[in-house]
Structure 1
Amino acid sequence: MTGATLPPLREVIATHGLSASKALGQNFLFDEQLLDRIAAIPGSLEGHDVLEIGPGPGGLTRALLRAGANVTAIEMDRRCLPALAEVEAAFPGKLRVIEGDAMGIDHDSLFPGPYAVAANLPYNVGTALFTRWMGAEGWPPKWTSLTLMFQQEVAQRIAAQPDTGAYGRLAVLGQWRAHAKIAMKVHRSAFTPPPKVMSAIVHVTPGEAPEGVSMKVLARVTEAAFGQRRKMLRQSLKGVPGALEALERLGIESTRRAETLTIDEFVAVAKALS
């Protein structure tokens, strides 16, 4: 069996008696053309190391391997391991499957050098994993890009601009030292079973980190500001020591609300407090 002769995914699902687990936030994609388009988003993957989270029966895994990537896939659903073993056999030496919880594994330790991340993320851990990847104190990170499927609402929050309803902590986290954009929208009908919501793929690449800014301080400021987003900053930030004085020094009106501040303004406040 080679990559070209692997049975269709629907056949694999039937053979192994697989069904998408609601508890694990699974939704399977079968359309190979769509999967190949997703695998093309990061650019050429020929010979590159790629981390995939929650490969399930291996739809995106196949597409990444067809694109020439060396894939390390972390899967916690033991039911999917036999299907992934077939993919591993079809692409000798190109796929490594690790059984486990991606939240409990040090991803950097899996690779000797830089790696890309590509994943149709399980809905129940997507935001937590994204926050972890973006929240590292050390920058630039070891990963070179993130190509991640989210619920469309979450994707919009990551790529949002100030003064929009979707703008909040995820936008600041995703954009203060990285470039985040929605690369593709995916209709709910593309999945089996179809989720109740639309999906979208976010593509993130690291940028320059502003000097003198602590990730922890920025997280604290944004958490306070957006935690009470309907209130003026003089109310929402009064619990953060020095924040109101920082606003005054920077010439930022304390009567403004969090969603009106640009990412640069949030960074300036965090820098003043770091």
Structure 2
Amino acid sequence: MTALPPLRETVARHGLSASKALGQNFLFDGQLLARIAAVPGDLAGQEVLEVGPGPGGLTRALLAAGARVTAIERDRRCIPALEELAAAYPGALRVIEGDALAIDAPALFEGKPHIVSNLPYNVGTALLVGWLSGEAWLPWWQSLTLMFQREVADRIVAAVDTPAYGRLAVLAQWRARARIAMPVHRSAFTPPPKVMSAVVHLEPVETPADVRFDTLERLTAAAFGQRRKMLRQSLRGVPGALAALESLAIDPTRRAETVSVAEFVALARLTPSPR
């Protein structure tokens, strides 16, 4: 690689500023970025997908760790800075301009990549659910190391019968081991967001083949969409769900936040598929 100027200098030279519309907040602290890049383990020679690299702060840390990075960036203002970074690391960085929600990411890789991203706040949850979805499992990725608003991170790892427990916790914890790897203070970002952040690490686990993702998603959407209601009310619109409750001897007067991941999975197993 060739020597790189400080990231702040690169940002200033290209006239870049974080776009509120795109949910951007830039990180400049090299030590913090290196810690994030270390969360998945040794990345030397590993394929990595990064979504929303912006000017390339985390990208630098991933490349320094020896990763082969594919970066998908929607903001064309950032592309020249990323192309400079690619030139400094010949053959190690591929930059793709586009919307990560619309790109067929699995087709970009020979093997199973790690996904490491400081996700744009406005699409982070949608991307995570997409990466957890699909009927075929194990997934096309090795691990997820993702920056979220702390509130969203807490929802991903929440335990049953706690205020943060909901649909996201069930979907994530059904298919992965999820933990908060590190908190990140709002002051680490430029500009500082109004909320704290955290890095979540997820590793996929085997799940039963007789439980469909779309069924579990329908059940959790209905149950937590009316979380103050009893299950017999909130699940009334899901065909077969009330019969499944009865078969499993789950009290229909309970509310969604008291239903464990294992209980939701058991319900999904007995609830007819929407297709």
What range describes the TM-score normalised by the shorter chain of this pair? over 0.9
Q: Report the secondary structure of 1:26's partner residue.
A: coil
The runs of 5 or more residues in structure 1 that have no matched partner are none
Which whole-Å CA distance do the structure 1 matches of 2:149 and 2:57 have between them? 18
Note the 1:208-223 alignment, pairs <5 A: 208-223=206-221
Which whole-Å CA distance do the structure 2 matches of 1:81 and 1:108 have between them? 22
Does the aligned pair in 2 maintain the 1:56–1:77 contact within 8 Å? yes
Which whole-Å CA distance do the structure 2 matches of 1:105 and 1:61 have between them? 19
Which whole-Å CA distance do the structure 1 matches of 2:53 and 2:14 have between them? 15
Note the 1:220-239 alignment, pairs <5 A: 220-239=218-237
Which whole-Å CA distance do the structure 2 matches of 1:209 and 1:171 have between them? 15
1:30-85 superposed Cα distances (whole Å, 9 cap, x missing partner): 00000000000000101000000010000000000000100000011111111111
Instruction: Give the match for residue 75 of structure 2.
Output: 77
Q: Report the secondary structure of 2:111's partner residue.
A: coil
1:107-155 superposed Cα distances (whole Å, 9 cap, x missing partner): 1000011111000000111011011001121100010000000000000
- What residue identity is the alignment partner of 2:115? V
Q: Report the secondary structure of 1:170's partner residue.
A: helix
Question: Which of 30, 33, 36 lines up with 1:35 in the alignment?
Answer: 33
Does the aligned pair in 2 maintain the 1:55–1:119 contact within 8 Å? yes
Does the aligned pair in 2 maintain the 1:225–1:258 contact within 8 Å? yes
Q: Report the secondary structure of 1:176's partner residue.
A: helix
Q: Report the secondary structure of 2:44's partner residue.
A: coil
1:199-218 superposed Cα distances (whole Å, 9 cap, x missing partner): 00110110011231011111
Instruction: Give the match for residue 160 of structure 2.
Output: 162
Instruction: Give the match for residue 92 of structure 2.
Output: 94
Note the 1:6-25 alignment, pairs <5 A: 6-25=4-23
How far apart are residue 244 of structure 1 and its match?
Answer: 1.1
Q: Report the secondary structure of 1:96's partner residue.
A: strand
Give TM-score, length-normalised by structure 1. Answer: 0.98
Which whole-Å CA distance do the structure 1 matches of 2:68 and 2:6 have between them? 21
Q: Report the secondary structure of 1:148's partner residue.
A: strand
Instruction: Give the match for residue 121 of structure 1.
Output: 119
Instruction: Give the match for residue 266 of structure 2.
Output: 268
Note the 1:165-176 alignment, pairs <5 A: 165-176=163-174
Runs of 4+ deviating beyond 6 Å: none
- What residue identity is the alignment partner of 2:27? L
Q: Report the secondary structure of 2:55's partner residue.
A: coil
Does the aligned pair in 2 maintain the 1:186–1:200 contact within 8 Å? yes
How far apart are residue 233 of structure 1 and its match?
Answer: 0.4
Does the aligned pair in 2 maintain the 1:51–1:72 contact within 8 Å? yes
Which whole-Å CA distance do the structure 2 matches of 1:211 and 1:122 have between them? 32
How far apart are residue 248 of structure 1 and its match?
Answer: 1.1
Which whole-Å CA distance do the structure 2 matches of 1:227 and 1:93 have between them? 47
Which whole-Å CA distance do the structure 2 matches of 1:76 and 1:246 have between them? 44
- What residue identity is the alignment partner of 2:206? E
Sequence identity of aligned pairs in percent? 70
- What residue identity is the alignment partner of 1:122? P
Instruction: Give the match for residue 207 of structure 1.
Output: 205
Note the 1:180-191 alignment, pairs <5 A: 180-191=178-189
The runs of 5 or more residues in structure 2 that have no matched partner are none
Give TM-score, length-normalised by structure 2. Answer: 0.98
**What number of residue pairs does the alignment pair up?**
272
Does the aligned pair in 2 maintain the 1:46–1:68 contact within 8 Å? yes
Does the aligned pair in 2 maintain the 1:177–1:210 contact within 8 Å? no
How far apart are residue 252 of structure 1 and its match?
Answer: 0.5
- What residue identity is the alignment partner of 2:255? R
Instruction: Give the match for residue 244 of structure 1.
Output: 242
Which whole-Å CA distance do the structure 2 matches of 1:104 and 1:151 have between them? 23
